[in-house]
Every structure is written in C-alpha cells, then in structure tokens.
Amino acid sequence: MALVSHVNTKRAPEAEVMEIVPPGWTNTWHPVSHRDVVLSLNKAVENTGLRVLNREYSLNRLGTRMFASWAVELIGGRDSRIGYELGIRNAMDKSMALGVCAGTRVFVCDNLAFSSEYVAFRKHTGGLDIPELEMLAQRALLSATSNMRKELDWMKSLEDVTLGPLRFKEIVFDLMSGGILPPSQFEPFMEHWEEERQTTNGFTLSVVYNAMTRLVRGKSLIKIAKVTGMLRDFISRRL
C-alpha cells in the first residue's frame, strides 16, 4: 500500500474513522465527515466496476485529519500483476481541502504530499454537500478506470516486443548508463529477469520492465516513484 503515516498521525481501523463526528456547518464552511467521504467512495466504487481489496487509514491525534489508501482491482481485469490504488485525504479543521486521487501509482502521505495520475480537490466551502461529494468521487474513479485500462494496454504492448540476446544486452547497458539500473544491482536484476522469463516463457520488453519493478520493491516511495518514472520513459521510447 502507498499510505505513509509519520507526521503526528497513527494508523486507525475503519470503524474508528467512521465514528468521528464533524463540527457544525457555518454559512461558508461545510466540513464533511470522514464517514461521508468513505461512503461516497464506496458508492462510486460500486458504480465504476471496481472491487476494493484492502483499506488503510491514518488519523491525527484529534481525528480531524484522515488519510487513506485503498487497493482496488478492475472486476474482470485481465492482468493481476498490475496494482491500482485510490488515495483519500479529508480534514475537519480547515487545514486542507478534501482530496481524491486514483491510478496505478498513488502516494498519499500525512505530510500533505498527494499525487497520482489523477487528482481532484474540493475545498470545504458552502457548496460542498453529499451529492457534490459523490460527484467528486465518481469523476475521480471514472478517470481511474480509464487510466487502468490504458495501463493494461501499455503492459500488453510490451509483450509484443521480442528481444534477441544482443538487443537485450544493449537495453541493460542503456539502463545502467542512464542511471536507472545501478551496476551494483545487476545480479539481483538478472535473477528477477530469469524468474520473469521462466514465468512468461519469453524474451520480451515486458520481462525487462517487470524485472526492474521487482528490483525496486521495498525501497522508499520517493525512490520507487523516481525509478519507475524514468523506467516508463525509457521503455516507452523502445516500443
């Protein structure tokens, strides 16, 4: 999961998140409860052909700030190797806007960094009500499913690019000279490559991409985002 909790927050179960009562509305400020945010996203998920696999939440000490990351999948998805996430943040203390992000690489952190392929923000102003909240969630998820299907098509296109021994060596050299694959990680990369090759029974660009993404698992989210961004650009230029 892509939820980072370290700045005056702690992990919390969904039941605790749902029980926090928001302050009263004013003419210009409509704080939305964490419960309403979660329920609106649940409704949008059901309407968009997604299934939630896992949910993680963090709260600040007073419970006024909530951060969440949901792992989801496309119902009837064609490739279980690709992960998707929804990111959510909400505040009932005027500290930040409500935010929803969705895509294949989501980073939600309680230091207020918030990023993904698609981001929607909404201030807690007088016009924010439950129908508006549900529309915000629906727009985010419609964009997310579009991105997911594009990602699946992109991944499938990598499987169509067959690599001969010489071409494979050239790509590995370019990965190292481009600073994407550290020379010190060459042997682990080759181990991942061999495992991927045996799984797929092929010598394709997809195997190289999957081996590289396996290599950075367990690294910091910032490191993963940097490497995968460079890797996608590198791979796309070779399609």
Instruction: Quickly list DSSP for the chain.
Output: --EE--SSEEEE-HHHHHHPPPPPP-SSB-PPPHHHHHHHHHHHHHHTTEEEEEEEEEEETTS-EEEEEEEEEETT-S-TTS-EEEEEEEESSSSS-EEEEEESS-EEETTS-EESSEEEEE--BTT--HHHHHHHHHHHHHHHHHHHHHHHHHHHHHTT-B--HHHHHHHHHHHHHTTSS-GGGHHHHHHHHHHHHHHHTS-BHHHHHHHHHHHTTTS-HHHHHHHHHHHHHHHHTT-
Does pTM surpass 0.85?
A: no
pLDDT of residue 202: 78
pLDDT of residue 126: 66
> pLDDT band for position 2 (50/70/90)?
low
What is the C-alpha separation between 150 and 158, in angstroms, rounded? 13
pLDDT mean over 63-81: 76
What mean pLDDT, rounded, does the chain reach?
Answer: 81
pLDDT mean over 212-221: 77
Percent of the chain exceeding pLDDT 70 equals 79
